Amino acid sequence: MAKSLSTTQFETLNSISLGEKSLDSLTTVEAIQLAQDGFLTVSSSGAVQLSQKAERAVIRQLKRAKQGRITQALAYFLGSHMKPGIGYSVKPQGKSLDTAILPHVAKLGLDRDEVLDSLKALRAEGVLETNAGHVKNNCSIRWFLAGTFEPDTGVPQNAEPKEEETVFAVNG
């Protein structure tokens, strides 16, 4: 994974790529540091220019910042929407929109990949957990508030204990 830009590097490179700052206005120290990091190159005509590495780094940093804002917004939504012990799918399964996440946040312009990346980030922070280790089909993956997922053991959780049953065998 690529190294994250420092705040100063990002601000400088972003200003240059947006045309707000010219390469000629860089201080000697800034130019040397950016060149050492591979963000500046010299063209065949001798002109200093931003490298493709710099352009990719700025785009990557902008995507990270956007994803951070999406994760924060999704965390706020989930905090007010999710209930403990109830599994939520990303896309609606059947007729239930209440336990699906995407239909509620798609109105905000979020797509499935952004939502999944945010859910994974929240899982890494310990806010959410999944049942992924207990299901065989990705369509069955549900997201739970941390500490509220109980694996299905095949025994109804709210059932009254049954009296002992007597089994009769008839030989015949």
pLDDT in tens, 20-31: 988 888 888 988
Domain count, the chain: 2
Question: What is the reported pLDDT for 52?
Answer: 92
Contact 88, 82 (CB under 8 A): yes
What tens digit of pLDDT does each residue of 33-90 get?
898 899 998 888 888 888 899 999 999 999 999 999 999 999 999 988 889 988 888 8
Two structure tokens written together for 61: 């940093």
Instruction: Point out the least confidently predicted range of 49-63, 69-83, 118-132, 138-152.
Output: 138-152
Residues 42 and 87 both lie in one domain = no
> Is the model's pLDDT at 6 over the cut of 70?
yes
Please check whether residue 167 lies inside any domain of the structure: no
| Listed residue (117, 6, 132) closest to 72, CA to CA | 117
Residues 81 and 138 both lie in one domain = yes
Report how far residue 21's alpha carbon sits from residue 52's, in angstroms, rounded to the nearest whole number: 18
Question: What is the reported pLDDT for 113?
Answer: 92
Residues 76 and 46 both lie in one domain = no
Residues 12 and 72 both lie in one domain = no
- Write the CATH number for 88: 1.10.10
Question: What is the reported pLDDT for 48?
Answer: 85
Please check whether residue 57 lies inside any domain of the structure: no
> Is the model's pLDDT at 165 over the cut of 70?
no
Please check whether residue 20 lies inside any domain of the structure: yes
Question: What is the reported pLDDT for 170?
Answer: 64
The arithmetic mean of pLDDT across residues 106-114, rounded, is 89
DSSP 3-state assignment of 96?
Answer: strand
Domain assignment of residue 98, given as a range: 68-145
| Neighbour count for residue 82 (Cβ, 10 Å) | 19
